[in-house]
Structure 1
Amino acid sequence: MALGGIEHIGYLLVSCTILIAGIFLIKKISPFWQEVIFMLLALTGAFGIFFRYAMHLSFDRGFDFITLLKQQLQVCNFNFILLPAAVFTKNKRIKNYLFGFALFAASTTLITYNRSLTQLPWYHISFINFWMNHFIAVLLPTLMLASGRYYPEKKYMMSVSIMVLLYFALSGFGSWLLMTYEGVSRMDTYSFVFVPEGVWIFEWLYSWIPIYFVYLLPIYPVLVLWLYGFAHVFENKKHHIIEKHHT
């Protein structure tokens, strides 16, 4: 399914329709049913990743927990842990990580997905699973924000930025271990730490700083500014709503 082709645009239009309808409907239902929807989405998103990597898109191949574990080194596959943790725990740092980073990481993947997927037809189970896994990582936090009951908070954003940095460091270290001791090739690692190819901004940065992991560091200040700006918008919105109710 070619990037920018008619099928790709169709997927994007359907996704946007679901997203807009979800934003409208989530405001109309009670907090109890909102939580039910959030839980179902989190479990569906986690199962989609489990089905792809632990079950290899089949119900008759057993379980491959080693592959699933290795895939946690990949940003979007870490949603296997992140989505349930954000919904089933009260940890606000995890929720803010979901809102401020994971949401937008997943959304960019829907626009510029892996080149290997362009060889698949739009109805292939691998592509449908790929899209579902990433779309739920966009849909869930968007609906949580739209419900008006959750919002990013600036006081957690430095923690979130440190979490992102640590995640990429651990992902890079894990990928290095796989390359060193299991013979995994650089291009088959699970992190952008070792693979700038295919993403123009990473390729450009690596051309200036040809050191793996280090070439990503100039993005870090931009990430911090983004996180604080994103939280600032929602905190202002919340304050305006509170002031409106008091007048």
Structure 2
Amino acid sequence: MQDSLILQLIGEFIGTFVLVLLGDGVVAAVSLKKSKAEGTGWVAIALGWGLAVTIGIYCSAFLSPAHLNPAVTVGMAIAGVFPWSSVVPYIIAQILGAIVGAIVVWINYYPHWQETKDSQAILGVFATGPAIRNYFFNFISEFIGTFVLVFALLAFTRGKFTQGLNPIVVGLLITAIGFSLGGTTGYAINPARDLGPRIAHQILPIANKGTSDWSYSWVPIVGPLAGGIVGALLYLLIP
């Protein structure tokens, strides 16, 4: 049983690492100076994050349930389809995977940080931030996006997808959330995806970086967790 849990934690680490590497990577490609993808915009980011989630799931689903997201892990536990005893270890593995993924993004784009003078753009590669800073409505936005995510993931368990298709459907869900709801806060909808890279931003010697904006950091943690909990509770009410 212990060996099984260790393999699952490795899967969560790998999947979240890939998710952040490719997700933060597309933001870096769009935002950093002298990148060949510079300025390609929100469509590239939303599509890139959807693909990042899809590939992250494919890379980890043979080892773990591929939650890759503490809000999903908590939601699944509330829904009764995941053991509470594994929640904290899963979350730790996810955050560690996100930190390492962000570090590799920094290495991959190493010359471009020096060329980029906008510290907010640099922080935006690693962590989310609001288009309009209003903590209450920023929280509501993260809540709504993650509510949709967790409720939809649980709803998917009642349907039947062709073998191997589920990660693509989940990637499309992430893309839909990004296009429709993500313009307010950058749609963290995943505490590990935001906290891990924000920690990396804090500790790495990134050229031209500014503050890691810890005063905002509670929003992409508490908002997704609350949204995931309510999404799971609503799912339980449906016979």
Q: Which has the larger radius of gyration?
A: 1
TM-score scaled to structure 2, two decimals?
0.30
